[in-house]
Amino acid sequence: MASVRTKESKSTPSVRSVARPVIGINMDVIAERGVTPHLRLNLGYLDAIWAAGGMPLLIPPLRKDSLSELDSLLERLSGVLLTGGADMDPRRNGQSLTAAVHPMPERREEVDRYLLAWIFQRKLPVLGIGVGMQQLNVFAGGTLFLHLPHDNPRAMPHYDHTGAPHRHMVLIEPNTRLQDIYGTPELRVNSMHHQAVHQLGRRMRVAARSPDGVVEAIESTDPNWFCVGVQWHPEDETASALDMQIFECFVQAAARSGSALSVAA
């Protein structure tokens, strides 16, 4: 039987692999009357994590009785990005629900609380944005102003009633992680919130304030834990060019902490 000579294949060029830390991102649940319930996420969050060198992984908001099934997914994460959204239900924290408060759907709040417990227990690198920052503070035992115009009438406007982009300055506290990230004592940010941190949570400190004294950023006092929350939206198209630095520093901290996925570059 004649032997068959196989044609040697040409050597393929080597593919450079880049290890990207896996960053979990929670999603907003939309459950409005007359609208089919669905999920929503600003693509700016994904794009910012990817541009900073991370691999975004969406965390599904499972039903309350299935949340433990998330554990195998959460174990793959090197960090978590807590996104913006509607308000937390103040009744869960001993405060009254008023007409000015617009609670997020219970399904999102349940999965976010499960996620926060996971983050705090493991000191997983975390970046909280908008209500994500407020969630970090409340989970740490802090409280919120539920509606700035009512609870803190001396506060300047922090959002535009018409929905138009609104911006103001923030003053970054010296000797904070946030100062290391931005490298500047002042920053002009977008602003679209009506709630704000009132009493700080345990082992949290103020990282930035607006000129009226309203807390605009917080961070953990633990120097070994990247736990930062900002009230503005660095992922939004109205953000400053400097805002990319907070995603880069977050992803770098996540890369030092845990698992990564290799992707072709």
On whether residue 12 sits in a domain, the answer given is no
- Contact between 229 and 196 under an 8 Å Cβ cutoff? The reply is no
On whether residue 232 sits in a domain, the answer given is yes
pLDDT value at position 16?
Answer: 55
On whether residue 141 sits in a domain, the answer given is yes
On whether residue 59 sits in a domain, the answer given is yes
On whether residue 206 sits in a domain, the answer given is yes
Please count the structural domains in the chain. 1
What are the residue ranges in the chain where pLDDT is below 70?
1-17, 259-265
pLDDT in tens, 190-220: 999 999 999 999 999 999 999 999 999 999 9
Domain enclosing residue 217, as ranges = 20-259
For the chain, the DSSP string reads -PPPPPPPPPPPPP--EEEEEEEEEE-EEE--TTS--EEE--HHHHHHHHHTT-EEEEE----GGGGGGGHHHHTT-SEEEE---SB--GGGGT----TT--BPPHHHHHHHHHHHHHHHHHT--EEEETHHHHHHHHHTT--EES-HHHH-TTSPP-S-TT----EEEEEEPTTSHHHHHH-SSEEEEE---S-EE-SPPTTEEEEEE-TTS-EEEEEES-TTS-EEEESS-TTSTTS-GGGHHHHHHHHHHHHHHS-EEEEE-
On whether residue 229 sits in a domain, the answer given is yes
On whether residue 7 sits in a domain, the answer given is no
pLDDT value at position 86?
Answer: 95
pLDDT value at position 15?
Answer: 46
Question: 138: which 2 tokens?
Answer: 């409340």
CATH of the domain at 211: 3.40.50.880
pLDDT in tens, 149-203: 999 998 988 988 788 889 999 999 999 999 999 999 999 999 999 999 999 999 9
On whether residue 3 sits in a domain, the answer given is no
